[in-house]
Amino acid sequence: MHPGPPYQAPPFGQQPNTAGGNPVGAVLLGFFVSVVVSVIYTGVIFATYKDQSETMVHTLYIGHALLNGVAVGALAGLVGGRSNGARIGAAVIAPLGAFFGYTNAVPLVIADSQTPSVVWDMLENEPFFPAKAWWGSASDTTWISLLGLVVAAAAAWGLAYVAGNRGRRA
């Protein structure tokens, strides 16, 4: 009787990527898409701010957060595969896109409703005014700001998870 082959120890060093996909590419592509969606949202707000009620502003913000999360999450899942790094990156980038989409619209609205020099004065005296405007207004709507961030992060992570687990099965 011959002895069996000797036990081979697992190799040291970097292990092969079993998750598939490219997590860095997924995060970079998600960032690019988030910037594009945020610029579109800023343009919509700038074009329609005179006709919007406060309820419509909040609805558009939540819709933008959801759209940003869906776009970033879908691309992160498709490009990143089952990588947790791609999912976490999507869950971080999408809320940032929702935040900056809103805050970038504030100086444009101020410049259009008053004069562009007022925006420069605002940036000199109160540089965080757009973030304070995002945080809440006189009617105490801070929970809507936080809801938008949660919606964007949950949509991005959830869609990245679903899209990353679908398709490539070994």
pLDDT digits (tens, 9 = 90+) for 100-148: 999 999 999 999 988 888 888 988 999 999 998 888 765 667 889 999 9
**The pLDDT of residue 168:** 55
* Structural tokens at position 163: 């899209």
- Tell me the three state secondary structure of residue 150: helix
Comparing CA positions, the residue from 83, 65, 67 lying closest to residue 27 is 83
Could you please report the per-residue DSSP string of 113-169? HS-HHHHHHHHHH-TTHHHHHHH--TT--HHHHHHHHHHHHHHHHHHHHHHHHSS--
d(CA 90, CA 34) in angstroms, rounded, equals 10
**The pLDDT of residue 141:** 73
Q: Is a pLDDT exceeding 60 seen at residue 170?
A: no
Residue 2 CB partners (closer than 8 Å, separation 6+): none
- pTM (2 d.p.): 0.83
